[in-house]
Chain A
Amino acid sequence: MTTITSLAPRTRRNTELVLLAFAIGIVLLAYANVGMAVQDRVPADLGTLGIGIGVIAMVFHLVLRWRASYADPLLLPIATLLNGLGLVMIHRIDLANDKTIGEGAALKQLMWSGLAACAAMVLLVLIKDHRRLSRYTFTLALAGLGLLLLPLFPVIGKNINGSRIWIGFGPFSLQPGEIAKILLTIFFAAYLVQTRDALSLIGRRFLGFPLPRARDLGPIMIAWLASLAVLVFQKDLGSSLLFFGLFVAMLYVATERRAWIAIGLSLFAVGTFVAWKLFAHLQERVTLWLDPFASGQSDQLAKGLMGMASGSMFGTGLGQGRPEETYFANSDFIIASFGEELGLIGLMAILLLYALMVERGLRTGVGARDGFGKLLATGLAFSLALQVFVVVGGVTRVIPLTGLTTPFMSAGGSSLLANWVIVALLLRISDQARRPVVEDGGGGRNIGQDETQVVKIK
Chain B
Amino acid sequence: MNSPIRRIGIVAAAMFCALLMSSTLIQFVQAKELQDRPGNRRTLLASYSKERGSILVGGTAVARSDEVDDNFKWQRKYPQPQLYAPVTGYYSFTYGAGRGVEGSYDDLLSGSSDRLFYRRMVDVITGKPPQGATLELTIDPKVQKAAWDALGNQRGAIVALDPKTGAILAMVSKPTYDPNVLAGHDLPGVSKAWTKLSTDKSRPLTNRAIGGDLYPPGSTFKLITTAAALESGQYTPESVLPGPAALDLPQTTVDLPNVDGRPCGPNDKTTMAHALQISCNSAYGSLGMSLGQTKIRDQAHKFGYGQAVTVPMRVTPSIFPTNLNQPQLAQSAIGQFDVRATPMQVAMVSASIANGGREMTPYLVKNVRDKDLDVIDSTDPEEFAKPISKDTAGQINTMMQAVVEAGSGRKAKIPGMKVAGKTGTAQSAKGALSDVWFTGFAPADNPRVAVAVVVEDGGTMADEASGGVVAAPIARKVMEAVVSQ
Contacts and interface: CB of A to CB of B under 8 A. Distances in A.
Interface stretch (A68-76, A99-107, A203-211, A310-318): A310-318
B134 to A, nearest CB: 26
A242 to B, nearest CB: 12
Contacts of A362: 5-6, 8-9, 12
Interface in A309-339: 309-313, 317, 321-322, 325, 339
A322 B44 CA distance: 11
A190 B442 CA distance: 103
Nearest to B129: A320
Contact of A347 (B9, B23, B42, B46): B23
A307 interface: yes
B59 interface: no
Nearest to B69: A98
B192 interface: no
B42 A306 contact: yes
B300 to A, nearest CB: 49
Contacts of A396: 19, 22-23, 25-26
Given A309-B30, A310-B35, A362-B12, A253 B5 contact: yes
Contacts of B18: 389, 393, 398
Contacts of A354: 16
B20 interface: yes
A1 B2 contact: yes
A94 interface: no
Interface stretch (A24-32, A49-57, A154-162, A370-378): A370-378
Nearest to A343: B27
Contacts of B9: 359, 362
Interface residues of A, number: 51
B24 interface: yes
A307 B12 CA distance: 27
A133 to B, nearest CB: 18
Contact of B3 (A256, A311, A397): A256
A358 interface: yes
A36 interface: no
B5 A322 contact: no
B1 interface: yes
Contacts of A253: 1, 4-5, 8
Contacts of A385: 12, 15-16
Contacts of B127: 317
A112 interface: no
A33 B6 CA distance: 40
Nearest to A96: B71
Contacts of B19: 351, 388-389, 392-393, 396, 398
A382 B12 CA distance: 7
B37 interface: yes
A340 to B, nearest CB: 8
A142 to B, nearest CB: 26
Contacts of A352: 16
Interface residues of chain B: helix, strand, loop or mixed (majority):
helix
A409 interface: no
A312 B20 CA distance: 14
Nearest to B70: A98
Contact of B42 (A307, A374, A393): A307
Contact of B40 (A306, A317, A351): A306
Contact of A374 (B5, B13, B25, B37): B5
A355 B16 contact: yes
Nearest to A309: B34
Interface in B70-90: 71
Given A293-B37, A382-B8, A389-B15, A308 B2 contact: no
Nearest to B49: A322
A145 interface: no
Contacts, number: 137
A337 B457 CA distance: 59
A339 B27 contact: yes
A229 interface: no
Interface in B16-61: 16, 18-20, 22-28, 30-35, 37, 40-43, 45-46
A322 B42 contact: yes
B152 to A, nearest CB: 47
Interface size bucket, B side? 35 or more
Interface in A389-429: 389, 392-393, 396-398
Contacts of A225: none
Contact of A310 (B5, B16, B24, B42): B42
Nearest to A306: B40
Contacts of B7: 252
Interface in A236-294: 249, 252-254, 256, 293
A344 interface: yes
Contacts of B31: 308-310, 312-313
Given A310-B43, A351-B16, A351-B19, A344 B24 contact: yes
Nearest to A348: B20
A347 B5 CA distance: 27
A386 B32 CA distance: 30
A382 B11 CA distance: 9
Q: Which of A253, A339, A359, A375 has the most CB of B within 10 A?
A: A253
Interface in B148-184: none
A310 B12 contact: no
B23 A348 contact: yes
A256 B40 contact: no
Contacts of A303: 41
Interface string B214-255: 000000000000000000000000000000000000000000
A305 interface: yes
A252 B9 CA distance: 13
A249 B11 CA distance: 10
Nearest to A321: B42
Contact of B1 (A311, A339, A371, A386): A371
A355 B13 contact: yes
Contacts of B37: 293, 306
Given A254-B1, A396-B22, A313 B12 contact: no
A312 B22 contact: no
A323 B2 CA distance: 42
B1 A256 contact: yes
B41 A325 contact: yes
A116 interface: no
Which residue, of B1, B8, B18, B43, has the highest number of chain A Cβ atoms within 10 A?
A: B1
A288 to B, nearest CB: 15
Centre residue among A310, A325, A386 by max chain B CB count within 10 A = A310
Contacts of A398: 18-19, 22
A293 B30 CA distance: 14
A249 B5 CA distance: 9
Given A305-B34, A385-B15, A312 B27 contact: yes
A249 B8 contact: yes
A253 B3 CA distance: 8
A366 interface: yes
B4 A256 contact: yes
Interface string A347-368: 1100110110011001001100
Contacts of B45: 322, 325
A446 interface: no
Contacts of A256: 1, 3-4
6 contacts: A306-B42, A310-B35, A310-B40, A359-B9, A362-B8, A378-B8
Ordered nearest first, which 3 A-B pairs have the shortest CB separation? A309-B34, A396-B22, A344-B27
Given A256-B1, A385-B15, 18 more contacts: A249-B8, A254-B1, A306-B37, A306-B41, A307-B42, A308-B27, A309-B34, A310-B46, A313-B31, A321-B42, A344-B23, A351-B20, A355-B16, A359-B9, A385-B16, A393-B18, A393-B22, A398-B19
Interface of B: 1-9, 11-13, 15-16, 18-20, 22-28, 30-35, 37, 40-43, 45-46, 71, 127
